[in-house]
Amino acid sequence: MRREHRLPTAEDTRALGAELAGVLRAGDLVVLVGPLGAGKTALTQGIGAALGVREPVTSPTFVIARVHRGGRVPLVHVDAYRLGSVADVDDLDLDAATEESVTVVEWGQGLVERLADEHLEVRLDRRDDDVRTAELVPHGPGWEARLAAPGTA
């Protein structure tokens, strides 16, 4: 899988999410980093659709976390924007669901990485011309191998 992606449309961002879903499995942690409007929720929508989530995947800004079941693996979608510390993350009791779910956390950099031994960081950005970009940053040898495996685009 390429490490850097140019995403001219929201549909391109969702397509990257769907591509990522192909290598995701229970216990995976994906940390989405980027400014407002960079495509974090659109990427998660693509992941959810490809995992088989039937209900809409929307930003969990006000509820902080949503669990989507019904796909090949549950999707836990978290918005950590209003969380100020690791203690706030602990209060969510996310580790109870992380082993059997794919956990995608928006705004989680520096707060949630310890929930898993390895994780994938996706750095999203929106350029001045409104084209989004994504850089896949593996943390751990398992993610390095998955992103480099033949058959991943």
Domain that includes residue 127, residue range: 4-148
- For residue 46, being part of any structural domain is answered with yes
| pLDDT of amino acid 97 | 67
- For residue 42, being part of any structural domain is answered with yes
| pLDDT of amino acid 91 | 66
Question: Are residues 153 and 18 in contact, defined by beta-carbon separation less than 8 angstroms?
Answer: no
Q: Which one has a higher pLDDT value, 81 or 140?
A: 140
Query: Where does the pLDDT of residue 18 fall: very low under 50, low under 70, confident under 90, or very high at 90 and above?
Result: very high
Query: Taking 80 as the threshold, does the pLDDT of residue 150 lie above it?
Result: no
Query: Taking 80 as the threshold, does the pLDDT of residue 63 lie above it?
Result: no
- For residue 113, being part of any structural domain is answered with yes
CATH of residue 139: 3.40.50.300
| pLDDT of amino acid 113 | 80
- For residue 40, being part of any structural domain is answered with yes
| pLDDT of amino acid 41 | 94
Query: Taking 60 as the threshold, does the pLDDT of residue 56 lie above it?
Result: yes
- Count Cα atoms within 13 angstroms, Cβ side, for 131: 6
- For residue 153, being part of any structural domain is answered with no
- For residue 41, being part of any structural domain is answered with yes
- For residue 143, being part of any structural domain is answered with yes
Ranking 23-27, 39-43, 146-150 by mean pLDDT, the lowest is 146-150
Q: Is 84 exposed, middle or buried (0-12, 13-18, 19+ CB in 10 A)?
A: exposed
| Beta-carbon count within 10 A of 96 CB | 9
Ranking 67-71, 82-86, 138-142 by mean pLDDT, the lowest is 82-86
The two structure tokens encoding residue 60: 């969990």
Distances 10 to 7, 30, 39, 133 between C-alpha atoms, Å: 7, 19, 7, 11
Taking all residues of the chain, what is their mean pLDDT, rounded to a whole number?
86
Number of domains observed in the structure of the chain: 1
Q: What is the pLDDT of residues 72-118, one digit of tens each?
A: 999 988 888 777 666 666 666 665 567 888 999 988 888 788 778 89
